[in-house]
């Protein structure tokens, strides 16, 4: 019985030693793999995003009346992307007060405000590469009751800031 125990004990020690050797050998291999070093250089120049242009559309959308004091209207803006890749229109925000066209000098207080849409725009708006897209922002332009009577029939310039992402 002692011989049988010794053989089993011997095999057990041998198996444990082999397992330990495999683990240690694997650890050494992993250490060598992760411990490699090297050097080199590389360079790349980042491209420059070309400025997008915008154009407000003066005509009301089909079935929509011109804006009046106390009312709201959709803002329709044509965005032109001169870049060779499409861009996502992320946000549109007011960039200053609205002004009336030159023919309406008596329109000093316009009463016009631009309601910034939620950021990011939803649904996502993608302006195609080297192309244009008309974006309609529902109810984004409002005219309050303080607008001057001289604003009747005026067209308004509303400066906007667009944020785009590639």
Q: What is the pLDDT of residue 67?
A: 86
pTM for this one?
0.64
**Residue of higher predicted confidence among 33 and 117:** 117
DSSP symbol at 128: P
Q: What is the pLDDT of residue 2?
A: 43
Name the one residue in this structure whose structure tokens are 């009336």.
100
Q: What is the pLDDT of residue 138?
A: 87
Residues 72-81 have pLDDT tens digits of 888 888 899 9
Residues 85-100 have pLDDT tens digits of 999 999 999 998 999 9
Q: What residue segments make up the domains of the chain, in order of their start? A: 1-35, 53-165
CATH T-level topology, domain 53-165: Immunoglobulin-like (2.60.40)
Q: What is the pLDDT of residue 26?
A: 44
**What is the distance, to the nearest Å, from the Cα of residue 63 to the centroid of all Cα atoms in its chain?**
32
The count of C-alpha atoms lying within 13 angstroms of the C-alpha of 1, restricted to the half-sphere facing its C-beta, is 0
The count of C-alpha atoms lying within 13 angstroms of the C-alpha of 22, restricted to the half-sphere facing its C-beta, is 6
For the chain, the C-alpha Rg in angstroms (whole number) is 35
How many Cβ atoms sit within 10 Å of the Cβ of residue 45? 5
pLDDT at 29 over 50: no
Is 94 exposed, middle or buried, given 0-12, 13-18 or 19+ CB atoms closer than 10 A?
middle
Q: What is the mean pLDDT of residues 146-158?
A: 92
pLDDT at 128 over 50: yes
What average pLDDT does the structure give for the chain? 76
Name the H helices within the chain: 2-34
Q: Which of 36, 52, 55 is nearest to 90 (CA)?
A: 52
Strand ranges in 42-102 using DSSP code E only, listed in sequence order: 53-56, 72-81, 87-94, 99-100
Rounded to a whole number of angstroms, the distance between the first and last alpha carbons of the chain is 78
């Amino acid at each position: 019985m002692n011989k049988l125990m010794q053989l089993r004990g011997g095999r057990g020690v041998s198996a444990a030693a082999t397992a330990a050797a495999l683990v240690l050998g694997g650890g050494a291999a992993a250490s060598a793999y992760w411990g490699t070093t090297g050097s080199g250089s590389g360079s790349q120049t980042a491209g420059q995003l070309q400025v997008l242009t915008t154009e407000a559309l003066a005509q009301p959308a089909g079935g929509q009346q011109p804006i009046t004091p106390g009312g709201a209207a959709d803002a329709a803006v044509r965005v032109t992307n001169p870049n060779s890749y499409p861009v996502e229109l992320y946000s549109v925000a007011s960039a200053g007060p609205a002004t009336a066209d030159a023919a309406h000098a008596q329109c000093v207080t316009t009463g016009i405000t631009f309601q910034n849409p939620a950021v990011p725009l939803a649904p996502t708006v993608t302006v195609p590469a080297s192309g244009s897209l008309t974006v309609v922002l529902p109810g984004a332009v409002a005219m309050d009751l303080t607008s001057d009577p001289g604003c009747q029939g005026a067209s308004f310039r509303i400066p906007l800031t667009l944020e785009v992402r590639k």
